[in-house]
């Protein structure tokens, strides 16, 4: 029986691939033990136990970027976390540590190295994060979602997708989706989402553009995010919800999308052949622009800066695309040409090769 220690958390970008790989391991090896490392503050604190996996909490240890009180105690706190995780690895007879980036992965990689167990890494973003760049010095098994990701020993395995997305039959699920969201079966659907917390620019621009989109013959399914402050305009053919816990249904009904360019979102839309306008998050290290580069280059997506995504752009550019159904179809085929649904299986195979 193999014991796996999976490390990653904080955001959906780390948690969803981790859970997808965990589910694949469990389906292949029902007698395997899967332990997940995560923080108390991250999404994993809710999602991991709900999926039936043991969650071990480790302290949130962001790498200090400026001298302050946190920086003075960082090394001692890191050493303490590594010592505890090393003991866990030895006590639970962990066979392999698999990291998906984020705060918890750094101590996990260091503990695995100290305990002498294999390390496997998955990097979801085009631009590798600090924890995974460090971990790549300790292993030759580094899987990446995107070709061209610059990290040691990179091997393309694709993006592990949530099982409900990986197995999704959009055509079969579409009637249920239309009914669930109260949408018109005779109109194409524009799906708009900026993530669980929302995206101010996307929300405001789409809201202001709603009459034009509806006049063009489309309907809008707008997932605003739980912290959004926009109000529902109450228009026919415009469905606004704050949060969606059935993204498989939302994706089933989507004929086109407007979205941020998080790695998971780009890979899910591409895998399902859904063309999109990608509006990268304007803060951070800019990785979202690069996440969408392949699908945009293939013709399956359009990239627009956050500052440029305004109602005038929607009228001049997006409506031109949406009113050309043949172009929408071509873009969908182009998106599918760079997508894939086998990332979970390929990553699980990669882990087995490291164990071997």
DSSP at 307: G
Is 125 among the annotated ligand-binding positions? yes
- 10 Å Cβ neighbour count for 164? 13
Nearest-angstrom CA–CA distance, 301 and 182: 27
3-class state of residue 202 by DSSP? helix
Is 252 among the annotated ligand-binding positions? no
Nearest-angstrom CA–CA distance, 309 and 327: 21
Nearest-angstrom CA–CA distance, 348 and 112: 19
Nearest-angstrom CA–CA distance, 131 and 121: 10
**HSE value, Cβ hemisphere, 13 Å, CA-based, for 195:** 20
- 10 Å Cβ neighbour count for 116? 9
Q: Are 101 and 14 in contact (CB under 8 A)?
A: yes
Residue partners of 244: CB distance under 8 A and separation at least 6? 193, 223, 250
**HSE value, Cβ hemisphere, 13 Å, CA-based, for 60:** 10
3-class state of residue 159 by DSSP? coil
Is 12 among the annotated ligand-binding positions? yes
Inter-axis angle of helices 105-115 and 69-91, nearest 10: 50
Nearest-angstrom CA–CA distance, 247 and 245: 6
Is 196 among the annotated ligand-binding positions? yes
Is 301 among the annotated ligand-binding positions? no
At CA 14, angle to CA 13 and CA 20, rounded to 5?
95
Q: Are 270 and 158 in contact (CB under 8 A)?
A: no
Return the residue matching tokens 């995107």: 146
Q: HEC profile for 266-302?
A: HHHHHHCCCCEEECCCCCCCCHHHHHCHHHHHHCCEE
Q: What are the binding residues?
A: 11-13, 125, 162, 196, 288
Q: From the annotation, which residues make up the binding site for UDP-N-acetyl-alpha-D-glucosamine?
A: 11-13, 125, 162, 196, 288
């Amino acid at each position: 029986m193999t014991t796996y220690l999976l490390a990653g958390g904080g955001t959906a970008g780390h948690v969803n691939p981790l859970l997808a790989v965990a589910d694949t391991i469990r389906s292949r090896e029902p007698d395997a033990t899967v332990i997940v490392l995560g923080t108390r503050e991250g999404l994993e604190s809710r999602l991991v136990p709900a999926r039936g996996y043991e969650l071990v909490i480790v302290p949130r240890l962001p790498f200090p970027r400026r001298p302050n009180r946190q920086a003075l105690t960082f090394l001692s706190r890191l050493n303490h976390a590594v010592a505890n995780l090393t003991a866990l690895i030895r006590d639970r007879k962990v066979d392999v540590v698999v990291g998906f980036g984020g705060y918890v992965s750094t101590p996990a990689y260091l503990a695995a190295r100290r305990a002498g167990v294999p390390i496997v890494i998955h990097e979801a973003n085009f631009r590798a994060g600090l924890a995974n760049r460090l971990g790549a010095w300790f292993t030759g098994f580094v899987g990446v979602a995107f070709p061209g990701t610059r990290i040691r020993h990179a091997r393309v395995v694709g993006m592990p997708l949530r099982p409900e997305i990986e197995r999704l039959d959009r055509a079969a699920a579409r009637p249920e989706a239309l009914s669930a969201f109260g949408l018109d079966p005779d109109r194409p659907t524009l799906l708009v989402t900026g993530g669980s917390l929302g995206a101010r620019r996307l929300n405001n621009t789409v809201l202001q553009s709603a009459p034009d989109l509806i006049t063009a013959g489309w309907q809008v399914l707008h997932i605003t995010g739980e912290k959004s402050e926009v109000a529902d305009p109450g228009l026919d053919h415009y469905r606004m919800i704050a949060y969606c816990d059935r993204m498989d249904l939302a994706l089933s009904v989507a004929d086109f999308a407007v979205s941020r360019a998080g790695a998971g979102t780009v890979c899910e839309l591409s895998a399902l052949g859904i063309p999109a306008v990608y509006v990268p998050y304007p803060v951070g290290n800019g990785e979202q622009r690069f996440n969408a580069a392949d699908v945009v280059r293939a013709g399956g997506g359009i990239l627009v800066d956050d500052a440029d995504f305004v109602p005038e752009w929607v009228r001049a550019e997006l409506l031109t695309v949406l009113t050309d159904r043949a172009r929408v179809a071509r873009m969908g085929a182009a998106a599918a040409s760079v997508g894939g649904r086998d990332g979970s299986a390929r990553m699980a195979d990669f882990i087995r090769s490291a164990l071997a």
